[in-house]
Amino acid sequence: MITVADNGAFCLQGKDYTYAMYVNDSGFLQHAYYGKKIEVADLEYLIGHICSKFAPTKGGLNYDMQFDNMPSECGFYAHGDYREPSVIIERSDGAAMSRLRYVSHKVYGGAPTLAGLPHARKGGDTLAVTLKDDFSDATVILNYTVYDDLNVLVRNAQIVNVGKEEFTLKKAFSFCVDLPDSEFDIMRLCGRWAAERTPVTSPIKYGITRLQSLRGSSSHKINPFAAFLRANCAEESGECYGVQLMYSGSFALTAESSADGSLRIQGGVNDTAFGWTLRAGESFTSPQAALCYSDGGTGKMSRHYADFLRECVIDPRYVYKKRPIVVNNWEATYFDFDNEKLFPIIDEAAKLGIDTFVLDDGWFGKRDSDTSGLGDWTVNEKKLKGGLKTVIDRCKKHGLKFGLWFEPEMISEDSDLYRAHPDWAIGKDGVQPCRGRNQLVLDLTRSDVVDHIFAAVSDVLANNDISYVKWDFNRDLTEMFSRKLDRQGEFAHRYMLGVYSLAERLTTAFPDVFFEGCAGGGGRFDAGMLYYFPQIWTSDDTDAYERAKIQWGTSMCYPVSAMSCHVSACPNHQTGRTVSIDTRGAIASLGATGYELDLSKMTDDEKSAVKAQIGRYGAIAELVLKGDLYRLCDPFDGNWFCVMLVAKDKNQAYVVGERIHAVPCDLIKTIKLAGLDADKTYAIDGTDIVASGRALMTAGIVLPMLGDFGSFTWKLKQIENDK
Ligand code: DGJ
């Protein structure tokens, strides 16, 4: 709900939070409050309270550089606010100072549609506040979308050239919020290939904490997400704020603690070497940011984000639809396959209850290794005699669907495409390009390149019975330069706009094809990609211990249904570790499950285990798609990993635990379940436990003593004899 109070204050109320701001007497939009829900009338004393202490207000604009303390909704540059600005507007003479003041606002039902960018698909209600720069012809429209039934506030900014002279944006962040104090720890999700999204928390200190990617992707190294935790914040208690960008390219999120103790949190498209020119009438739309307040710890924040992403971002055609259970041939064969190697996997898949066979990298062009072929999306008949049709027919014979891997954004120098269009690769003549995985990146800032890829991929999809696409991206961008672009400061963002446009066109043209995102594992796991692809390959690390940690971190701000999780062979290809097939299955069941191994080489016992896993997964698939996640034992902090999923109606739940190392005479470990209905009675499958939700959540359950990487899965079902 959005209320514009009599005194001019804007009061935004989501399900359990309130966000308030107001226009002070001098026309500056000041932040007033963000936190637990309070009534509009209760807020009145805050309006003017903060400004009288700090900011220029009474007495018009006769002020003395006091903006440095003004809690602002959009920081301006070179005019008395020495904190990091949110926008920098550089005119042709180099002047860049600005002073943004309120002009008008409007409130409407729904959410803004951001053409070309991923965005919240529905409102809510939206408040759009227009600020005007006193020193240039720029206006900044700040959009705020709230939902009565969700705890996420969606923000972005649109900068418009309302004059005649062009100017260049040197920075155009999506949001800025100035909180009155800095007494927070900041949690970021960082890591590297095969170890993505480890939660790392540190205190906020004076100065700027900047989380950023300059890689042209949101990256393996740092996710476009941060959480700000109060000292009392734990997994299920205390306060925290989350910020998440709906963006997949180079980004920045900053937290600036100032001398007065206040904290400016902001972020958006990375401003390093950024420059976006706006001619008369043109505008720049920044990506959306999803802000979240939780008074129930990081666990509640994660559930808020999961609800928001499922309800408002992920494609409604697929978000709650049963996901295909795939077998993917990558770790079974790598590049070395032909029909004879694939057919036994397909034949076995059908017997085990798998429903889709996904043919990974290596099916096209001259692709016998990672040194060649990217860009040539025509089948390699030397490997696949009879073309894709033969493989698809084999699948169909067994009632299996067929999926195919693409890496649309890339080009190998050893490819027909490169030989025909060397200038389509990103780079500058005379500068030796860095290669990543022996490949170059296509220049998706160019519409002719995007058109070509669209046509080439469409041709394969239109002429073959393909129901699933895995869209990979195996290297980051380096020499960010387009031979066709006049203004290279626009390159990084224009590249992302090209990716989004290609994804939009392909998912629209092929509505029956299910798209999975991937980026050398989890290098582009973000809300921007989730807008187009309902699930993303979480990591190339499929070791059931390492994966449990990666999935734990990823769940901080993404729903488990967005995580693609496969059982792979042991010894594991990434770690060399051997973990039982049961534990591998248990961890892979906490997401969109699948298999990534040569099924035909499994023992009979393993095959039976897989068959049983697929059967059990059927019974918990709805919980994965729609349930609430509770994290119970942190694998980064102890010898156990344990999480549970609870149905919204609290009639069912699913608990998965993994003990990391066997310890002789180990201490007793009791877990208290969470999220159940205290008054309902639950039976736990596979045990003789029948108990009330209250007992399970207060007295808890003693965990079984298991060996190294041993696991358990419990299905809880409400039984009828409750009150
Ligand atoms: C990286 C992906 O994460 C893998 O699953 C596989 O598809 C390879 N790329 C193929 O090159």
DSSP type of residue 600 = G
**pLDDT band of 50, cuts 50, 70, 90:** low
Mean pLDDT of 346-374: 97
Q: Which residue out of 81, 361, 476, 540 is catalytically annotated?
A: 540
Q: Report the C-alpha gap between 48 and 720 in whole angstroms.
A: 56
C-alpha span between 241 and 561 (Å, rounded): 23
Distance, in Å, from the CA atom of 73 to the CA atom of 31, rounded to the nearest integer, reads: 6
Pairing between strand 263-269 and 251-257? Answer: antiparallel
* Predicted local confidence at residue 323, as pLDDT: 97
pLDDT attached to residue 52: 43
> Is 688 assigned a catalytic role?
no
Confidence category of residue 68, pLDDT binned at 50, 70, 90: confident
Residue nearest to atom 10 of ligand 1 (CA): 361
pLDDT band at 335 (very low <50, low <70, confident <90, very high): very high
The CA 145 to ligand 1 mean position distance, Å, reads: 37
Asked whether residue 57 carries a pLDDT value surpassing 70, the answer given is no
Indicate the average pLDDT of the chain: 95
Task: Take residue 388 and report the two structure tokens written for it.
Answer: 């894709």
For residue 329, the CA-to-ligand 1 centroid distance in Å is 10
- What number is the average pLDDT over the span 394-416? 98
Q: What is the pLDDT of residues 658-714, one digit of tens each?
A: 999 999 988 999 999 999 999 999 999 989 999 999 999 999 999 999 999 999 999
**How many angstroms does the Cα of residue 331 sit away from the middle of ligand 1?**
9
Residue 540, ligand 1, Cβ within 6 A: yes
Is the CB–ligand 1 distance for residue 361 below 6 Å? yes
Output the DSSP codes for 278-320: E-TT-EEEPPPEEEEEESBHHHHHHHHHHHHIIIIIS-TTTTT
User: Could you give the dihedral angle defined by the CA atoms of residues 473, 478, 484 and 489, in that order, rounded to the nearest 10 degrees?
Assistant: 110
Give nearest CA residue, ligand 1 atom 6.
330
Count the helix, strand and coil residues of the chain and give each as a percent rounded to the nearest 5: 25, 35, 45
- The answer, yes or no, to whether any atom of ligand 1 lies below 6 A from the CB of 516, is no
Please say if 416 is a catalytic residue: no
Has residue 432 got a pLDDT over 50?
yes
DSSP secondary-structure letter at 480? Answer: -
CA of 375 to the centre of ligand 1 (A): 16
Gyration radius (Cα) of the chain, Å: 26
Using the predicted structure, report yes or no on whether residue 466 has a pLDDT greater than 50.
yes
- Cβ of 522 below 6 Å from ligand 1: no
Atom of ligand 1 lying closest to residue 540 CA: 3
Of the candidates 361, 472, 582, 598, the residue annotated as catalytic is: 472
Of the candidates 334, 466, 338, the one whose C-alpha atom is nearest the C-alpha of residue 400 is 466
Is residue 23 within 6 Å of ligand 1 at its C-beta? no
